Amino acid sequence: MWVAAGQFSVSADWQANARECVALMRTAADRGASLLVLPEALLARDIADPDLSVKSAQTLDGGFMQALMTQSRQDSLTTILTLHVPSTPGRAVNTLVALRGGETIALYQKLHLYDAFSVQESRLVDAGSLIPPLIEVEGMRIGLMTCYDLRFPELALSLALQGAELLVLPAAWVRGPLKEHHWATLLAARALDTTCYMVAAGECGGRNIGQSRIIDPLGVTLAGAGATPQFIMAEVSAQQLKEVRAQLPVLTNRRFALPQLL
């Protein structure tokens, strides 16, 4: 099947961001993609106000999601993204949403909050407490992750051991020294750790690096974006996955039981 990732620079206007998401959904559907991954925290962003994403939080039946649901009802695409959903006053949960047919088919609250490199996501965001579910797209089992989760191989491995064949990762990977190197290295490593395909969508603009990637189970980049708005696609194959796992059976060769995560 064909999978896609779309990246753009999130603005301070949630309605404009919703229109960007809808446009990418239409492009993916028109080009025959079965799965589209969009970046993390798409409601609103402003470099001058790092708290805007949380201040702009909306419920899952708010205007932002309603706009995407309307488009989703018009195609068979599965779309993955994250947005901030209010929790307690002044706080929110970074929530991954999977849409198909105008319905929410899965939710995941981000486990690993980005308290690193002088950023403290947990100051205003509540962490999730559950391992994300798997979903199925065109017969392929998909594991859900969000941005900073990429640095924790236990989560990707847990999903692969549950049966994931492809991992998705909406992200807003913050710029900084060597951060592009970390991004590329970790994406390839998680693909190799799990012998899964990876579809990662990164927000671009003044704060974040973009560089969306689609990677095969041997860590090879099949399609990649730069630092500007872009749409990428690649074909993924259950047969190729089966062949890779026969040649590189790391999931069955493991000698250590997965520790209890939560």
21: left (phi over 0), alpha (psi -120 to 50) or beta: alpha
260 confidence band (pLDDT: 50, 70, 90) = low
Q: What is the pLDDT of residues 128-154, one digit of tens each?
A: 999 999 999 999 999 999 999 999 999
The third-level CATH classification (topology) of the domain covering 2-237 is Nitrilase/N-carbamoyl-D-aminoacid amidohydrolase (3.60.110)
- pLDDT band, residue 258 (cuts 50/70/90): low
Band of pLDDT at residue 256, cut at 50, 70 and 90: confident
Q: What is the rounded average pLDDT for all residues in the chain? A: 96
pLDDT at residue 209 is higher than 90? yes
Q: Domain ranges in the chain?
A: 2-237
pLDDT in tens, 36-70: 999 999 999 999 999 999 999 999 999 999 999 99
Q: What is the pLDDT of residue 39?
A: 98
Q: State the DSSP string of 144-212.
A: E--GGGGG-HHHHHHHHHHT-SEEEEEE--B--TTHHHHHHHHHHHHHHHHT-EEEEEE--SSSB----
Which residues are tagged catalytic?
Answer: 40, 110, 147
pLDDT tens-digit readout, 89-102: 999 999 999 999 99
What is the per-residue pLDDT for 122?
97
**Structure confidence at residue 259 as a pLDDT band (50, 70, 90):** low
